[in-house]
Every structure is written in structure tokens, then in C-alpha cells.
């Protein structure tokens, strides 16, 4: 690598083009329809990418659900469910930034350690539609929290102390949120605790 290339490596990372957790499908191949996505095949990077996609879906569900709710103008002393969703949306943005920071340091392919970095996939969920019933909407939030917890448990064992510390903080924030969601499903709505991991 020449001197210019060495300097470029100090300020930019060689990220994959359109990273994805999915392997390219046969229907996307061929000269007329080339697949420009880069499959993340490194084991650790793929697990972080799955967690990123879950948090991204969670952010989108928060935004969509917030638009379906109205604040109660007579309730000025507590944070409404809609307000809590908006706060949690910003918390998820910080979570996505933190996870993206991990992904850009991991290889796309463990067999090519000097190759492209994985990067955040930003894969759209299969649907953005919310259930019609309000309780079912909150159950969707709970399901996403449960799915994220399972994914974080897969990641925890192989992490550095910093990685484990971040996952522990994220798990704690999710547990606070899940407790609030359970209360909303049960019909008891105290002032929501706004969770989230502070930016690192």
C-alpha cells in the first residue's frame, strides 16, 4: 500500500458495500440483476448484525406506534406512553450507534481479516404494520425485547470486558422497559421509566 493509502486507512474504514446478514439469493444473480450486497459471514459480526437489525426494528416500531397514540392533555404530571415511546426511540438511536461502532471494527469474513469491515446492515423488517389491538402492539414490543435478550445472550460469552459491560447495561435498560410494557398490557400505567444506555 502506498503512502496515500496508508493515510486513508487512518481516517476511513474499508466497509463492505450494503452489508447484510443474508446470503445472496440465486434470483439476484446474473449480469442483468447483480447482487450488490455483501454477506456478513464472520460469526461474531453476524451476531452483532442480527442484534443491530433487532434494535433497528425496535426503533421503527417505536416511531410507528407513537404516531398511533395521542397524549392526554389533562395528564401533565407523568410521562405518557407516547412520550415514553419517543424517548425510547432516541435511546435506540444511541444503541444503534454503539452497535455500529462494534460492527465497523469486525471483519466481514473471518477468513479475510485484512478485507472489508462488516458495518451496520440496516435491514428492513418483513413488515412495519402494527397489530390492530393496543395490547397486541405492546406485546410486539415485549417480543422484540425478548428476541434482543436472546441475541445478547449468544454474544455475551465471547466478548471483551467492554463488550460484556455494554451488553449488561443494555440488558438492564431492556428489563426496565419490559416491566413497563408488562404493566401497560395489564392495564396499569404508572409514569413510564425511560430506559436506554448512555452513549459511550
Summarised one tens digit per residue, pLDDT across range 140-188 is 999 999 999 999 999 988 888 889 999 999 999 999 999 999 999 998 6
CA dihedral over 137, 182, 96, 71, signed as positive or negative? positive
Nearest alpha carbon to residue 181 among 135, 147, 148, 149:
135
Nearest alpha carbon to residue 48 among 104, 128, 113:
104
- Cα–Cα distance between 118 and 46 in angstroms, integer? 8
Cβ atoms < 10 Å from Cβ of 115: 14
- Cα–Cα distance between 44 and 155 in angstroms, integer? 7
Model pLDDT for residues 11-67, shown as the tens digit of each residue = 778 899 999 999 876 455 545 555 688 999 999 999 999 999 999 999 999 999 999
Q: How confident is the model at residue 70 (pLDDT cuts 50, 70, 90)?
A: confident
CA distances from 36 to 124, 190, 194 (A): 16, 48, 39
Q: Give the burial string for 173-200 (b: 16+ CB within 10 Å, else e).
A: bbeebbebbeebbeeeeeebebbbbeee
| CATH class (in words) of the domain with range 3-186 | mainly alpha
pTM score over 0.85: no
The full set of domain ranges for the chain reads: 3-186
Amino acid at each position: 500500500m502506498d503512502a496515500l493509502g496508508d493515510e486513508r486507512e487512518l481516517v476511513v474504514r474499508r466497509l463492505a458495500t450494503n452489508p447484510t446478514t443474508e446470503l445472496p439469493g440465486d434470483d439476484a444473480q446474473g449480469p442483468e440483476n447483480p447482487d450488490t450486497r455483501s454477506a456478513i459471514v464472520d460469526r461474531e459480526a453476524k451476531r452483532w448484525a442480527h442484534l443491530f437489525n433487532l434494535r433497528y426494528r425496535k426503533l421503527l416500531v417505536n416511531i410507528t406506534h407513537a404516531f398511533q397514540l395521542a397524549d392526554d392533555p389533562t395528564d401533565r404530571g407523568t410521562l405518557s406512553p407516547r412520550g415514553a415511546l419517543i424517548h425510547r426511540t432516541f435511546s435506540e438511536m444511541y444503541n444503534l450507534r454503539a452497535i455500529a461502532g462494534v460492527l465497523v471494527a469486525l471483519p466481514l469474513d473471518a477468513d479475510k481479516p485484512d478485507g472489508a469491515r462488516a458495518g451496520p446492515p440496516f435491514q428492513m423488517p418483513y413488515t412495519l404494520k402494527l397489530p390492530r389491538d393496543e395490547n397486541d402492539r405492546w406485546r410486539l414490543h415485549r417480543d422484540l425485547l425478548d428476541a434482543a435478550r436472546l441475541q445478547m445472550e449468544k454474544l455475551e460469552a465471547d466478548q471483551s470486558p467492554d463488550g460484556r459491560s455494554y451488553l449488561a447495561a443494555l440488558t438492564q435498560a431492556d428489563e426496565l422497559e419490559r416491566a413497563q410494557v408488562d404493566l401497560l398490557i395489564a392495564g396499569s400505567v404508572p409514569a413510564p421509566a425511560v430506559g436506554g444506555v448512555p452513549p459511550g
